[in-house]
A and B are shown apart, each in its own frame.
Chain A
Amino acid sequence: MLRCDLTTQLGDFSMQLKFALPSKGVTVIFGPSGSGKSSLLNMIAGFDSPSLTSTIHFNNQIWYAQTANGKVQTNTPIQQRKIAYVTQSPCLFDHLTIKQNLQYAIDRQHQKPINDQKDYFSLAGVSHHLNISLLWEKFPNQLSGGEKQRVAIARAIVSVPQLMLFDEPLNGLDEQHREQILHHLEQLHQHFSVPMLYVTHNMEELMRLADRVLVLQQGSILAQKDIAEVLSDLTLPFSRHHQAGAVIVAQVHASEKNYHLIQLSLGDGGFLWVNSPSEEHFHGKEIRLRIYAKDVSISRQPTVNSSILNILPANIIDIIGLGKGQSIVKLRCYQQTLLARLTNKSIAQLELAKGDQIFAQIKGIAILGAGLQ
Chain B
Amino acid sequence: MLITNADIIALMLTVKLAAVSTIILLIIGLPLAWWLARTHHRIKSVIEAIIALPLILPPTVIGFYLLLAFAPDKILAQTWLTVFDSSLAFSFSGLVIGSVIYSLPFVVQPMQSSYERIPELTLKTAASLGANYWDRCFSVLLPMTRRATLAAATLAFAHTMGEFGIVLMIGGNIPAETQVVSIALFDHVESMAYDQAHGLALTLLVFSFTILLSINILGGQSKPRFRHASM
Contacts and interface: CB of A to CB of B under 8 A. Distances in A.
Contacts of B128: 45, 47, 78-79, 81, 83-85, 159
B127 A77 contact: yes
Q: By DSSP majority rule, is chain A's interface helix, strand, loop, or mixed?
A: loop
Nearest to A136: B231
A104 interface: yes
20 contacts: A45-B124, A46-B127, A47-B121, A77-B127, A77-B132, A78-B124, A78-B127, A79-B127, A79-B129, A79-B130, A85-B124, A87-B125, A89-B119, A91-B119, A91-B121, A93-B122, A100-B231, A104-B126, A108-B129, A159-B129
- What's the interface size class on A, roughly? 20 to 34
B226 A141 contact: yes
A155 B125 CA distance: 11
The 8 lowest CB-CB distance pairs between A and B, nearest first, are A108-B130, A78-B127, A91-B125, A95-B143, A79-B127, A139-B226, A85-B128, A105-B129
B146 interface: yes
Contacts of A37: none
B144 interface: yes
Contacts of B140: 93
Given A93-B144, A139-B229, 20 more contacts: A46-B127, A47-B124, A47-B128, A79-B127, A79-B131, A79-B132, A84-B129, A85-B128, A87-B121, A91-B125, A93-B122, A95-B144, A95-B146, A105-B129, A108-B130, A110-B130, A137-B231, A139-B226, A141-B226, A159-B128
A141 B140 CA distance: 16
Contact of A109 (B122, B130, B226): B130
B139 interface: yes
Interface of B: 119, 121-122, 124-132, 135, 139-140, 143-144, 146, 226, 229-231
B73 to A, nearest CB: 49
A99 interface: yes
A82 B127 CA distance: 9
A97 interface: yes
Nearest to B144: A95
A94 interface: yes
Contacts, number: 66
Interface string A55-97: 0000000000000000000000111011111010101011111
Contacts of A105: 129-130
A99 B231 CA distance: 9
A77 B130 CA distance: 10
A5 to B, nearest CB: 23
B139 A104 contact: yes
B84 to A, nearest CB: 39
A79 B140 CA distance: 14
Contact of B122 (A46, A83, A91): A91
Nearest to B142: A95
A211 B98 CA distance: 66
Contacts of A100: 231
A93 B121 contact: no
Contacts of A97: 229, 231
